[in-house]
Amino acid sequence: GTDRREIPQRSSRWAAKSADILAAAKLTPNQISVGSVVFAAAGAAALIWSAHTDDAIIRAVLLAAAAACIPLRLLLNMLDGMLAVEKGLSSPVGDIYNELPDRISDVLFLGAAGVATAGLATAGRVDFGMMLGFLAAILAVLTAYIRCLGAALGTGNFFDGPLAKPQRMWLLMIGVLVAIAEPWLPWPEGWALFCTLALIAAGSLVTCIRRLRRVSTALHARKDLPA
């Protein structure tokens, strides 16, 4: 659909200047969309690596790098749309590049956060940290699926929260930053990410339910309209 998520920063001077620079560099919106996946992959790798080092300084650096990749991913997600719409650089396959890289990025970040908590909370062969990570990733993809389903059914794109993509990513970034301080906090390393994933999974489930209700309500309202 052509609806766009409300992003206040989109109208800022620095965002417009950034879009001008990217357009002048002959970068396309699709290339920028793929670039967001590169940042997500780098952040995911840093998250996983941070759980496999015994050096507190290296762990902190890796977590800081992972945290930095989150807003960079969101920044490219905003700029690709600005080039497509404001700069008139959209392409016939633009919608694919607008959606698919976002879903890949969600899975990379949230799945990696789950892997980073591996071994923290287990019962038999069940690793609850990894389970939470991939559950959060599945629900994140499902929130977007329901939004796109609504658009396909003609009810429009519903960007309702409480945990739409930006909110999910900001919450994850906070969890990663708290994890940096875990050596000095009264709980084992990994619990910050574990609790963050639990919040993201729960919030994403509520988001799915809210969006599905809005789509259903819009479909019922359309059926009740006089011919």
Instruction: For residue range 59-100, list pLDDT tens digits in order.
Output: 999 999 999 999 999 999 999 988 888 878 888 988 899 899
pLDDT of residue 38: 97
Q: Does residue 162 have a cis bond before it (omega within 30 degrees)?
A: yes
Given a contact cutoff of 8 angstroms between Cβ atoms, the answer to whether 50 and 59 are in contact is yes
pLDDT of residue 31: 94
* pLDDT (tens digit per residue) in 168-203: 999 999 999 999 999 999 999 999 999 999 999 999
* pLDDT (tens digit per residue) in 19-40: 899 989 999 999 999 999 999 9
Count of CB atoms situated within 10 Å of the CB of 148: 15
* pLDDT (tens digit per residue) in 94-147: 889 989 999 999 999 999 999 999 999 999 889 999 999 999 999 999 999 999
Given a contact cutoff of 8 angstroms between Cβ atoms, the answer to whether 110 and 172 are in contact is yes
CA dist., res. 45 & res. 185, Å (int): 24
- Chain CA centroid to CA 180, Å: 20
* pLDDT (tens digit per residue) in 147-167: 999 999 988 889 988 999 999
pLDDT of residue 1: 45
